[in-house]
Amino acid sequence: MTIGFGFIGASGIAKHKMLAAIRNTPDCEVVSVYSSNLERGRAYAAETQIPHAASSLEDLLANPAVHAVYISTTNELHHAQTLAAAQAGKHVLCEKPLAMSQLEAQTMLAACREAGVVLATNHHLRNAHAHRAMRDLIANGAIGKPIAARVFHAVYLRESLQGWRLDKPEAGGGVVLDIVVHDVDTLRFVLQAEPTEVISLSQQFGMSAGSVEDGSMAVFRFANGVIAQVHTAFTVPYAGNGFEVHGTDGSLIAKNVMHPAAQPEVLLRTANGEQRLELAANEVYSLGVARFIAAIQGTGKPAASGEDGLWSLASALACLESAHTGQKVAISV
């Protein structure tokens, strides 16, 4: 059976990444798009060759050709739109951060569970070959017992993205809800451990406005004892990016792995010397869609579940709270 997707949100990520990811997945198609502005929705549908622009969320959810929705509106809308989709019996692939609060995210998980629909979170980085290889090497003892990790994920926010992320706290703006959520999800995936507490400082360096931060440095502690330093920013043009895990018997040092299109460089350094892993950049969004479809068909699990989205949201919210209070903040879901 062909799985029809309804897009909730005529967004950039849907147009530039997810449309192709869905169209490249066998037995999938995008059948309708909902925008809060019907004219914009129609123009978006015409430009992207989506056959239908829905006049309302109810219109999209009442469409029997829509079996699943991909939600990529601004963050404050994810909660209510997921509840509506679940009530209509549609499977949900939702963007990160899953919601604006843990309570909202928990309600979303419960609603999807009760409705018997799949809830997945679009954490794409865990689908990268590089992160999967690092996770497997660590699980197989290649670096001994992991001690510490470092994530470098400071970017210069493209002009086209310099909107609500910079000045709308009510829409979930800020670098922590935008990027730290991805970094924590990737750490959880690679380390196979949950974060337990965080201490952080945030920064405003001329790009964001009001109470919204455009830079953050945080240290997370994980249940397996690892401490992980995470640097994120919207303001840094030339830092590059990286992900390192250091253990008792070796270190994994990866560069170019926090941006999916880049060619990854992953080095394993142990007493035996240095080994470069031969890894190609891969289509991370397609893999996420394929895993979502497998979950719908009962043959697999989402790459990142609703619970994964809840954990990364809880971690990012704790990171924000720590920066605001100056205190270490416990993380639990």
Question: Which of 20, 43, 80, 161 is in the footprint of ligand NDP by CB under 6 A?
Answer: 161
At 86, which amino acid appears? A
Under rule CB under 6 A, residue 36 binds ligand NDP: yes
What's the sign of the alpha-carbon dihedral 104, 157, 122, 303? negative
Q: Which residue number, 74 or 270, has a Cβ lying nearer to ligand NDP?
A: 74
| Listed residue (127, 116, 125) closest to 92, CA to CA | 116
Reading the block at residue 238, the tokens are 């030339």
Per-residue contact track with ligand NDP, 59 to 98, x per CB under 6 A? Answer: -------------xxxx-------------------xx--
Q: How far is the CB of 245 from ligand NDP (least distance, A)?
A: 22
The rounded distance, in Å, linking the Cα atoms of 7 and 79 is: 15
DSSP state string for 196-251: EEEEEEEE--SSS-TT--SEEEEEEEETTS-EEEEEEESB-SS---EEEEEESSEE
Q: How far is CA 42 from CA 93, 149, 281, in A?
A: 22, 46, 34
Q: How far is the CB of 161 from ligand NDP (least distance, A)?
A: 6
Q: How far is the CB of 75 from ligand NDP (least distance, A)?
A: 5
Token pair 């945030």 is found at 202
What's the sign of the alpha-carbon dihedral 247, 252, 256, 258? negative
Q: How far is the CB of 178 from ligand NDP (least distance, A)?
A: 6
Q: Residues in contact with ligand NDP, total (CB under 6 A)?
A: 20
Q: How far is the CB of 92 from ligand NDP (least distance, A)?
A: 13
Binding region for ligand NDP (CB under 6 A) out of 6-14, 130-138, 189-197, 272-280: 6-14
Question: Which of 79, 91, 124, 188 is in the footprint of ligand NDP by CB under 6 A?
Answer: 124
Interface residues with ligand NDP (CB under 6 A) are 9-13, 35-37, 40, 72-75, 95-96, 122, 124, 161, 163, 178
